[in-house]
Chains A and B, each alone.
Chain A
Amino acid sequence: MRMRRHFDHEDSTGIDLAPMLDFVLNLLIFFIITAVFVKEVGMDVNRHGGAASGPSTAKESESISVIIKASGEVIVDDRTVDVRAVRANVERLHAQKPDWGVMVTTEQAAQSGLLVQVVDQIHQGGVDNVSFGTSSR
């Protein structure tokens, strides 16, 4: 008899899912609202010199020097070149000295876009160890 009554009880209700559903829906709405699907793209550049740098990975004497002037000139290894020619020049110098990194020195007033272009060209030229510093002038 008692057994029978127990069965009856289970048959009639079970757990009430409604409060749980309310809670889960609220969580869902929160996560939908805060979801951001933007993946930012970027490039890794070591910082050379400046207030924060510890011992630098690339020694100044053992790296290919690229200088960016405020006027937009790009100087690779003491020769003024076009931005699009940086890649070829870096490739050539990299073939001569495979273990050297590249050091990019920009003037304070140079444009960031040009810096990104130059670093992109250097990456395309096959050198991943790029550090970047600013000249004091």
Chain B
Amino acid sequence: MRVICVEHVSKKFVLAHERSMSLAQAARSMFSRTTREDFWALNDISFDVEQGETVGIIGRNGAGKSTILKLITGIMQPTKGRIRTRGRICSLLEVGAGFHPEMTGRENIYLNGSILGMTRREIDSKVDEIVSFAGLEKFIDTPVKRYSSGMYARLGFSVAAHVDPDILIVDEVLSVGDAAFQAKCMSRMERVSQSEGRTVVYVSHNLSSVQALCSRAILIRQGSLVCNGDSASVVAEYVSGLEQGAHHAFDDNPDRSGTGALRLIGAAVLARDGTPVKTLVAGEGATFAFDYTNPNGLRRVDVKFSVISSHDVPSTNIDMGLTDFVVDQLVAQGTFLCHLDRVPFPIGRYRVAIAVSLAGELLDHMPNAIVFDVGLSTFFPTGRTPEARYCGCMVDHRWEHLVGPVPDRYQGE
């Protein structure tokens, strides 16, 4: 049985410079023709979801994933086409929605639960389970303003995880709490989607979790549906698309944010001899080069970048602040170079996410700036590297073997 039916849905947003106008502005705009730009966030999207399916929606930032979820849940209406759903929908677009800081954890469970569509009686029967899932037994009668952000998020997720909807819509809320809590959330999601036969629509950047949770995935690129099929092949399509989209010149990279006061115009990965390459050798030297243009004459900025594996796990994060590297006098155009003596990444494909900031303000940010491969390794004399899914960075090490009685290290334990 189809429970979600999306038929030729398009969604238009009007990009006005001022969203909420005052009366005076409205009066003025009636007479003057203000230029308003139409932006189609979604273009003729159609797909169905069957009861009991778990479907992942993937795509870059700004591709339209969240818009789809908002249309399915009814928060927004499509401009064209129509969406039909059957059954009770619970959307987790934000954990702890509507929490009131002055109210206790327990009161907020009731508040948040009813916002998510639970009845009072349902919450009564689940409140103990919710509290213990969140691990907050001791603090449940404390106002949530005294909670740490982790506790707050745990309580929020815990309530959401115990809603019993026919269709569950999840938007990346799994990225809350510590690793242990995330694992708990993942297994809860798995249980909800599999054994309880519920329909789940899941949006995430975390490709490995999409692959683990979803039987089917839908890839959205710039508002259009690119492919719709089993999750492994759709994820593969997405990853290969990243490479094609990863031009070294950034003019047409749609996936960027920041104020733009300073812009990166391109980046390259250079081999030891300084030639731009697509493939690096682990264990050898390499350089990351970031070309910038600085029209506003900013004096000093902070550049940081992450190298992220194809399993969507950050391998490393490098920040100018780590070594107190400061350029006092930036020029109108220039290049930052970051030299690595030995490339530590296992064989595989990586993307680089770059952020340039000034005093905490994000100037330019590209989560998918460039893609490179590590194809060979001289890191260890054997030429072998660990599997990238288990290893972010390789470390120098040596083994030793001692013969004889085991030293008495375990006293006092």
Q: Do chains A and B interact in one complex?
A: no
